[in-house]
């Protein structure tokens, strides 16, 4: 039987995927690494069922395909400290942007609710644009 993951377990598994050290990223490897953290071995299907874990896995997998494994070491501790400081400031910036977007989403959600827009209306697909179409009325004869 599949183990139901708690939010704490999901966050731990996401951290495992983000910090994955090698080029070979597999669901089986993640399951084995997660067993040390959460106490039991989850299945691939259990991990794949959580959108956060799947999105992190897909992003890490595509990042490894594009950039390869990151094993370059800084030449000195000063360079490493500068890199860490830059990455922390970039991380802080991205967090603040994410918070602003979440705040904007809550405003939109409230305004849509206030005006009676239903959730299924908000989630409708965008209309498809047929760029190959021509109007017979516009074609000179």
The tens digit of pLDDT for each residue in 83-136 reads 888 888 888 888 899 999 999 999 999 999 999 998 889 889 989 888 886 665
140 pLDDT more than 60? no
Of residues 46, 5, 12, the one with CA closest to residue 27: 46
Structure tokens at 129: 């644009």
CA distances to 59, 63, 85, 88, 91 from 70, in Å? 15, 10, 18, 18, 18
List the chain domain ranges.
1-72, 73-124
């Amino acid at each position: 039987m599949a183990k139901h993951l708690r939010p704490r377990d999901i966050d731990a598994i996401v951290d495992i995927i983000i910090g994955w050290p090698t080029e070979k990223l597999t669901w089986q490897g993640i399951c084995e690494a997660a067993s040390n953290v959460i106490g039991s071995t989850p299945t691939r299907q259990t991990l794949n069922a959580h959108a956060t874990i799947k999105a992190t896995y897909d992003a890490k997998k595509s990042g490894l395909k594009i950039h390869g494994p990151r094993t370059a070491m800084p030449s000195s501790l000063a360079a490493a400290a500068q890199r860490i400081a830059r990455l922390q400031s970039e991380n802080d910036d991205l967090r603040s942007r994410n918070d602003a977007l979440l705040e904007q989403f809550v405003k939109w959600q409230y305004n849509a609710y206030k005006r009676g827009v239903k959730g299924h209306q908000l989630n409708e697909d965008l209309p498809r644009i047929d760029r190959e179409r021509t109007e017979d009325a516009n074609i000179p004869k």
